[in-house]
Amino acid sequence: MLQLGVNIDHVATLRQARYKTPVRGDQPEPDPVAAAREVEAAGAHGITVHLREDRRHIHDRDVFLLRKTIRTRLNLEMADVPEIVAIAEKLRPDEVCLVPEKRAEVTTEGGLNVAGKSLPRTIARLKKAGILVSLFIDPDPTQIRAAAASGAQFIELHTGGYSRDPRQLKKLIAAAELAHRLGLRVNAGHGLNYQNTPGILAVPHLETLNTGHAIICRAVFVGLRQAVREMLALMRP
């Protein structure tokens, strides 16, 4: 059964919009930890957060509290940089998704270049800590072959291209087939919404869709539980 990981970064984005530098007496809200409880109550299968180097939304406090409180799976998106790798080893999320990170971007833009020098060492360190490792990559055969050689167990196929041009679905299907043949497990995410998620069900071997922006936007109008339930309903063929 296809699973849903809900990215709750934007809940923290909203908190930071008001409470970037909290002063005494502030009770910063909304709390992503409370949002995770709602997401789980609605039946989602996991919580995804991106601890960025600049801490623009999710903070260290959030990830450590989530680790203690959630009952589903914790997927930590992160860049391959020493500070965050050390945090991941301490945190021990169920899964890490390694992503490229640029300070100037609004959200993760492209997939990872798996040929990066420190990647195999980082993957080995994370696996040694008992963490499943996923690589966020474009549906590109060269990257998929490199991912298969890297030691990572999963790839997360970048669906941003598909979200802008549904004709790219063919690329995702071919990429998932190749990844599966090479022994990789396959997730997907980025730019998925209530319109384009049904189309993604044509991609074989998918285990988890990681979706954030569309669900948090819908939640503004119908509440988080309902927004998650509606997305889950769309994921059932």
Residues carrying an active site annotation: 50, 77, 190
**67, 91 in Cβ contact below 8 A?**
yes
The window from 35-43, 51-59, 138-146, 212-220 that contacts ligand PXP (CB under 6 A) reads 212-220
Residues 6+ apart with CB under 8 A from 156: 97, 134, 135, 136, 137, 186, 187, 188, 189, 210
Q: Does residue 7 touch ligand PXP according to CB under 6 A?
A: yes
With CB under 6 A as the contact rule, the residue among 38, 40, 62, 156 that binds ligand PXP is 156
Is the dihedral angle over the CA atoms 98, 100, 104, 110 positive or is it negative?
A: negative
Q: Does 108 bind ligand PXP (CB under 6 A)?
A: yes
154 binds ligand PXP (CB under 6 A): no
Single-letter code of the amino acid located at 32? P
Q: Mask: binding to ligand PXP, 130-149, rule CB under 6 A, as x and -?
A: ------x-------------
- Please report how close the Cβ of residue 163 comes to ligand PXP at its closest, in angstroms: 7
Instruction: Report if residue 8 touches ligand PXP, rule: CB under 6 A.
Output: no
- In angstroms, the CA 183 to CA 43 distance is 29
- Using CB under 6 A, which of 174, 191, 226, 229 touches ligand PXP? 191
96's tokens: 């890490």
Q: Which residues contact 1 (CB under 8 A, 6 or more apart)?
A: none
Q: Which is nearer to ligand PXP, 22 or 198 (CB)?
A: 198
Return the residue of 91, 186, 211, 227 that touches ligand PXP, per CB under 6 A. Answer: 211
154-158 and 185-189 strand pairing: parallel
**127 part of the interface to ligand PXP, by CB under 6 A:** no
Report how far residue 174's alpha carbon sits from residue 172's, in angstroms, rounded to the nearest whole number. 6
Nearer to ligand PXP, 23 or 220 (CB): 220
How far is residue 57 CA from its own chain's centroid? 14
Residues 6 or more apart whose CB falls under 8 angstroms from that of 204 comprise 173, 176, 177, 180
Q: Using the rule CB under 6 A, is 107 a contact of ligand PXP?
A: yes
Structure tokens that stand for 86 in this block: 């050390």
User: Contact between 97 and ligand PXP (CB under 6 A)?
Assistant: yes
Binding mask 35-74 for ligand PXP (x = CB under 6 A): ---------------x------------------------
- Judged by the rule CB under 6 A, the positions of this chain that interact with ligand PXP are 7, 9, 50, 77, 97, 99, 107-108, 136, 156, 189-192, 210-214
